[in-house]
Amino acid sequence: MASYDLVCDECGHDFEVFRQGFLKDEDRVCPDCGSSEVRQKFSSFLSSIGGSSSGGCAPSGGSPFG
């Protein structure tokens, strides 16, 4: 028995499917919204750790405690 982590592209609902073999088309359906736009998540993915000095959310000038 293998478990597959799936995520729905429509509503973003992530769920798990237990299947002995490979996934079938009927398994790749979101139980939340019923969409078939479901893709398999990868257990290990690269996450960008560390901050770049770009893309800040600071306005130029103006302080909330001014």
Binding site for Zn ion (CB under 5 A): 8, 10-11, 13, 30, 32-33, 35
Q: Spell 30-49 as b/e; 16+ CB within 10 A means b.
A: beeeeeeebeeeeeeeeeee
**CA 51, 54, 56: angle at the middle one, nearest 5?**
90
Instruction: Give min distance, CB of 2 to Zn ion, in A.
Output: 22
Nearer to Zn ion by Cβ, of 23 and 62: the residue is: 23
Nearer to Zn ion by Cβ, of 5 and 32: the residue is: 32
Nearer to Zn ion by Cβ, of 2 and 37: the residue is: 37
